[in-house]
Amino acid sequence: MYKLQKKIKYFFKKIKILKICLTHRSYNIKNNEKLEFLGDSILNFIITKIIYKKFLNKKEGYMTRLRSNLVNKKNLFKISKNLKLNKYIYLGQCEIKMKGQYKKSILANTLEAIIGGIYLDSKNINILEKIIKYLFIKNKILNKINKKDPKTILQEYLQKYKIPLPKYYIINKKGKDHEKIFTVHCKINNKITKGIGKNKKKAEQIAAKKALIKLGLNY
């Protein structure tokens, strides 16, 4: 466990707390579920604080979407994987047979439990903020804060050169409700680019990205 603590830049005063953080419910009745709940709340608070400080002029909806893009199972799994958490998790025999140590949900939840455990062990939210910033920067997740999406970049470019703004049209929808595929056209003057995605927003972003490439802008 020394290597894990070194990686997260925190050494537990009470090692039994770390052990609980790493204990899945399939292994023991005394497990990390409550710490996961605590860690999830703390993580959301700290990421919200970072976003709030950086985007004081932005609306709540924008900040909510950005937080969702940062604090999700995919990103938590990425951090967990790089920490090699699968080597340290305590799992029951059935879960081991199902390769639970590699499951995204289990690894992401364990990371949240560790965040909750650090708070219990340190009683210091500032320490946690530094650790979370370190882990999110090291794994290139906080970089997303500074990256504008293709639609925004395209709009700003067109406004700068007084070119009419793009219009987006859904030209096709196919598939069942839960797995629809959208085809969207982005029209600037008489030039059209096409985007295909799992939702309208994704399709528009792809169409906007193609428009940027056509304009000679590297995105």
95, 112, 121, 204: the active-site residue: 112
Catalytic status, residue 112: yes
Residue 139 host element (H or E): none
40, 95, 121, 204: the active-site residue: 40
Q: Determine the Cα–Cα distance for residues 208 and 150; give it in Å rounded to an integer.
A: 6
Catalytic status, residue 40: yes
Question: Cα-atom radius of gyration of the chain, to the nearest Å?
Answer: 22
What end-to-end distance do the CA atoms of the chain give, in Å? 42
- Nearest by Cα to 35 from 51, 50, 16: 16
Q: Is 7 exposed, middle or buried (0-12, 13-18, 19+ CB in 10 A)?
A: middle
Catalytic residue positions? 40, 112
